Copies of this chain bind each other. A is one copy, B any other.
Amino acid sequence: MSGLTNRRIVLASRPEGRPTPADFRIEDVAAPEPREGELLLKVLYLSLDPYMRGRMSAAKSYAPPVELGAVMVGGTVARVVRSRHPDYAEGDFVFSYSGWQSYALSKGEGLRKLDPAAAPLSTALGVLGMPGFTAYAGLLTIGRPQPGETVVVAAASGPVGATVGQLARIKGARAVGIAGGPEKCAYVRDTLGFDAVVDHRAPDFAERLKEACPKGVDVYFENVGGAVWDAVFPLFNEFARIPVCGLIAQYNSTGPFEGPDRLPIVMRDVLSKSLTLRGFIQREFVSQLPDFYRDMSAWIREGRVRYREDIVEGLDRAPEAFIGLLDGRNFGKLVVKVDESA
């Protein structure tokens, strides 16, 4: 044994609907000692993302569920604290999928070295990580915004939505964001520079969204579903593209879903407007990662892409922060600072 204590958060029970703190359990166990070819990672930052809700359920999705009693999955930034692996030395910083824990053993698979001088380490979980790449690949490959077109994205102050809107503007399109509450809306409009922003909490939200899209909607980057979908749907132009990367509004719903049945109306418009609906997860586009790192780093340096992080201190607070994420309580990319010395 390493003599170190690993604090970890495991899945205690599968939530029905909205998760509660009781669905998680904190455990302290001895951190393992790396054997030949292995290394021990100390987690500095843990990413919290909506997709994790899906992993808590037993239903088959694009990834297997987390087993009961197993450590919750998640992307992390970590420091190598012991290494018996030829490619990694003590003190190296890496991106890893170490999950909700303070130490993790690795054989080096799936790690990516990080240069702390190039960008703040935590950005490897956000704008220069999976959320940023989801926006980049989904918008540019599926959405393909053209100059003068209108791109709509919800959760516009979040790491995916913020990036989608800024990339839309870089491509010459008009970016319309949807966010919850005046503070987030002001940030989307004033700091991120979206052309328009609409508060989904407004009682006349659908009407305001329509006013914000006088030429209709050509690309809707779908990451929420629910009431936002209902407001955007009537605005689609012919040949609109709808990359679907998330449906956070329905992750806590178990179904069956009450009528009326909206599917026939959606299919009717898919046909009559020649719409494209395309689900994706970013790993399908992994061959674009080098382009992504090059383009996005440059856009950040040039000030053309901005980002915001919502950093929660301490692994123990991960469950409550994650539950808040599903309710939209975070403001910016939600990251847990696991190691207080980071």
Contact = CB atoms under 8 A, between A and B. Distances in A.
Interface residues of A, number: 42
B264 A253 contact: yes
A34 B191 CA distance: 65
Contacts of A268: 247, 250
Contact of A258 (B229, B261, B269, B275): B261
A267 B250 contact: yes
B263 A266 contact: yes
A33 interface: no
A267 B278 CA distance: 10
Interface string A177-199: 00000000000000000000000
B263 A274 contact: no
Contact of A264 (B225, B245, B273): B225
A273 B62 contact: yes
Contact of A255 (B256, B264, B277): B264
Interface stretch (A110-118, A279-287, A308-316): A279-287
Contacts of A277: 270, 275-278
Contacts of A272: 54, 60-62, 279
A275 B265 contact: no
B62 A274 contact: yes
B259 A260 contact: yes
Contacts of A260: 255-259, 261
A270 B54 CA distance: 14
Interface string A113-153: 00000000000000000000000000000000000000000
A271 interface: yes
Interface in A203-254: 222, 225, 229, 238, 244-247, 250, 253
Interface in A96-117: none
A262 interface: yes
Given A264-B225, A264-B250, A276-B278, A271 B245 contact: yes
A274 B279 contact: yes
Contacts of A276: 276-279
A261 B226 CA distance: 12
A218 to B, nearest CB: 15
Nearest to A223: B271
Contact of A244 (B258, B262, B270): B270
A296 to B, nearest CB: 23
B274 A281 contact: yes
A26 to B, nearest CB: 30
A279 B272 CA distance: 7
Contacts of A257: 259-265
Interface string A44-55: 000000000010
A148 to B, nearest CB: 20
Nearest to A265: B255
A62 B281 CA distance: 31
Interface of A: 54, 60-62, 222, 225, 229, 238, 244-247, 250, 253, 255-281, 284
Given A270-B277, A270-B278, A276-B279, 4 more contacts: A261-B261, A271-B279, A274-B278, A276-B276
